[in-house]
Amino acid sequence: MYSEKVMDHFNHPRNVGEMENPSGVGTVGNAKCGDIMRMYLDIDDNGIIQEAKFKTFGCGAAVATSSMATELVKGKTIQEALEVTNKAVMEALDGLPPVKVHCSLLAEEAIHAALWDYAEKNGIKIEGLERPVNDISEKEEEEEY
Ligand code: FES
């Protein structure tokens, strides 16, 4: 049912954890299942993503897609990171079963939420970036996730 790459990233997720003083951090909820993901990004002065970390209360597919997503955004510019869509992540993982496609949206939206936070902190506008509808960062901060 799952590709070898999905199983590998599920069993050995890359970049799990938290980050102190991230350039941007965002939390999103999955409208379909209620699972949650938080993404941290470290972005240097040239706008290159140096480090990405994630934490999730989500299923195996969410873990695998976030792990792959963090690997894909590292070393990229912000504009390039916007191209790391859930479709791109699924392709990099050799696909997901149809019932699990919604899980991959968590990773994409979490990247966008973290970039949104980065843009707000720096008073800039990122071309092509919209705040994800499932961005629950503020709510999560209040509840001390
Ligand atoms: Fe919720 Fe997969 S079932 S993220």
Give Cβ neighbours of residue 49 (< 8 Å, ≥ 6 apart).
Answer: 41, 42, 43, 73, 74, 75, 76, 77, 78, 81
pLDDT of residue 141: 61
| Whether the Cβ atoms of residue 100 and residue 61 lie closer than 8 Å to each other | yes
Q: Which domains does the chain have, with CATH numbers?
A: 4-135 (3.90.1010.10)
pLDDT value of position 144: 52
Dist. CA 104 → ligand 1 center (Å): 8
**Inter-CA distances, 23 with 2, 62, 104, Å:** 34, 23, 23
Distance CA 6, CA 57 (A): 17
Token representation of residue 55: 């934490």
Q: Given this model, what pLDDT does residue 139 score? A: 74
* Atom number of ligand 1 nearest to Cα 106: 4
- pLDDT value of position 1: 84
If DSSP codes are grouped into helix, strand and coil, which group holds residue 75?
A: coil
What is the residue-level pLDDT of the chain in tens, covering all 145 positions?
899 999 999 999 999 999 999 999 999 998 889 999 999 999 999 999 999 999 999 999 999 999 999 999 999 999 999 999 999 999 999 999 999 999 999 999 999 999 999 999 999 999 999 999 999 998 766 665 4
Q: How far apart are CA 80 and CA 90, in angstroms?
A: 17
Residue type, 16: V
Q: The sheet that has 49-57: what strands, in order across it?
A: 24-29, 36-43, 49-57
Nearest-CA residue for ligand 1 atom 3 is 59
Pocket of ligand 1 (CB under 6 A): 30, 33, 35, 58-59, 61-62, 103, 106
Catalytic residues: 33, 103
Q: For the whole prediction, is pTM greater than 0.75? A: yes
Cα dihedral sign, 130-137-68-34: negative
pLDDT of residue 31: 83
